[in-house]
Amino acid sequence: MKQATQSRRRFLRSLLSMAGSSAVPFTINLAAMGEAAAQSSGEYKALVCLYMAGGNDAFNTVLATDDASWTEYIRLRTSDDGNSSIALPRTGTGAVLPIEPHTSQGRTYALHPAMEGVKQLFENSRAAIIANVGTLTHPTDLDQYGRGENLPPKLFSHNDQQSLWQSNGPEGASLGWGGQLGDLFMANNGAPTFTCISASGNAVFLSGSQVRQFQISTSGMPGITNLSNSLFGVPAASNPLQAVITKQTPNGNPFENEYAAIVSRAIAAQQTLSQAMLPTGTGAGQVPAPSLYINPNTLVAAANPLALQLQTVARIIGGRNALSVKRQVFYVSLGGFDTHDGQKVNQADLLAKISHAVVYFDSVLQHLDGSDLRNQVTLFTASDFGRTFLSNGDGTDHGWGSHHFVFGGAVKGKEIYGAFPQTGIGHSLDVGLGALLPTTSVDQYGATLATWFGVPTNQLAAVFPNIVNFSQYNLGFMA
């Protein structure tokens, strides 16, 4: 308990030092933050961020199909000669997949034809759609956009908007909101090293003030070469390389000693997680491998890299009791969404991978280690930005607002949350070529997930600083 308290205090001090004098109004709340989070972390919960790198086109992912909307969709997304059309058919072969949300807003809707699995999760109330989400600092209208008032920095830039989605700051930001959630709860995890875990490389999303993201590959725990096997005939148990790099006899050089300490912790963490993770297989206490997915363009079956990342996440979640963790944040990703003139073909393949992977993950969680963990694990999507409605002659270009999905048993599913935008161009949310001015901020999206995760309402601003500028902090899509 003493160590946990000290960890929380260090976190609070670091927040205050970064915020400076502007943090004074929040001092009392921040002081209670760690304790309040601790009290709400009894049941295991995990958040999984599925990042679609490159900027997914929302207009072909979730579509309004009522007659007025569809007429504009076909008119504007079909080229004069039809050769470079990015429009999808409403009927016949390869048609969009109708969905029936509880609230229709007077319209009808459909999903991309490659998302049959997502459609089934949606219809079974295990998925929700959050409409027109994007990076915002304040509620903004088209006039304010035109005057450049209260806009996020460096709009339409891949690197900067990726960072803003994940950290509330442009490229160069060092704290992500996933990592800051980890900061709040790591003291309640028996093995705090495994609070924030990436199965897809380094991500600012998982960077906290205290917590450090732990990276793992789909092939297992990355180790130090020649450390876990024999070296020049010397058994691993007495491997001299380990003695050298862990520097078992500290000297007066603080840099050498610190490096040795870090390597020693890395080796210990690797061994701990390797022993705790559930093995792959089809038996009890094992995590089955994902089936092959079908490329909708070629109809060829192939391995799905995203499903393999989620298999790794499931194996770690299966070891939650051995690791004595109550809260975990994960990061997985799929690249290639900067589709431009390859959009119609490439996006179909990418969305097929996502649909296949999330259905696989849902099915694994239902029977993981003899437990149904679907109510305790929530997966959500994120991306750099949406895309333009019109083509610029080379496919759709960088946009702003986009639609996103949230999956899990705790999701109030079969619903579209937020105002679904008008289809077309020249409307009150069109900032150019049909790119959407967001009506829901990333802060609101993240704060709703964080509330379910256990962050007290009055502490959300410490993680999502822009939330104070919005009247609604909870969008209501989590039970």
Q: Is the pLDDT of residue 407 over 60?
A: yes
Q: What percent of the chain has pLDDT over 90?
A: 75
Q: Is the pLDDT of residue 35 over 90?
A: no
Give the per-residue pLDDT at 2: 39
| Interval 284-304: pLDDT, tens | 999 999 999 999 999 999 999
Q: Is the pLDDT of residue 270 over 60?
A: yes
Give the per-residue pLDDT at 13: 38
Give the per-residue pLDDT at 237: 53
| Interval 198-212: pLDDT, tens | 999 999 999 999 999
Q: Which of 81-95, 133-147, 231-245 has the highest mean pLDDT?
A: 133-147
C-beta neighbour count of 438 within 10 angstroms? 27
Which contiguous run of DSSP H or E holds residue 321? helix 320-323
DSSP symbol at 434: T
Average pLDDT over residues 37-46: 72
How many helices and strands, by DSSP H and E, does the chain display? 14, 16
Nearest to 200 by CA among 307, 344, 284: 307
Q: How far apart are CA 81 and CA 391, in angstroms?
A: 14
Reported as half-sphere exposure (CB side, CA atoms, 13 A), residue 477 has a value of 34
Q: Is 92 left (phi over 0), alpha (psi -120 to 50) or beta?
A: left
Which contiguous run of DSSP H or E holds residue 38? helix 27-39
| Interval 221-242: pLDDT, tens | 666 666 666 666 666 555 666 6
Q: Is the pLDDT of residue 11 over 50?
A: no
| Interval 413-456: pLDDT, tens | 999 999 999 999 999 999 999 999 999 999 999 999 999 999 99
Q: Is the pLDDT of residue 12 over 50?
A: no
Average pLDDT over residues 344-366: 97
Average pLDDT over residues 136-157: 97
Q: Is the pLDDT of residue 332 over 70?
A: yes
Angle of helix 177-185 relative to helix 158-167, nearest 10 degrees, comes to 20
Q: How far apart are CA 230 and CA 59, in angstroms?
A: 55
Query: Tokens standing for 427?
Result: 């409307």
Average pLDDT over residues 393-418: 95
pLDDT band at 31 (very low <50, low <70, confident <90, very high): very low
Looking at per-residue confidence, does 369 or 115 come out higher? 115
Q: How far apart are CA 404 and CA 411, in angstroms?
A: 13
Cβ 113 vs Cβ 348: under 8 Å? yes
Give the per-residue pLDDT at 394: 75
For the CA atoms of 351, 354, 359, 360, what is the dihedral angle to 10 degrees?
A: 140
Nearest to 50 by CA among 330, 356, 376, 317: 330
Q: Is the pLDDT of residue 33 over 70?
A: no
Helix (H, G, I), strand (E, B) or coil at 61: coil
Give the per-residue pLDDT at 328: 98
pTM of the model: 0.88
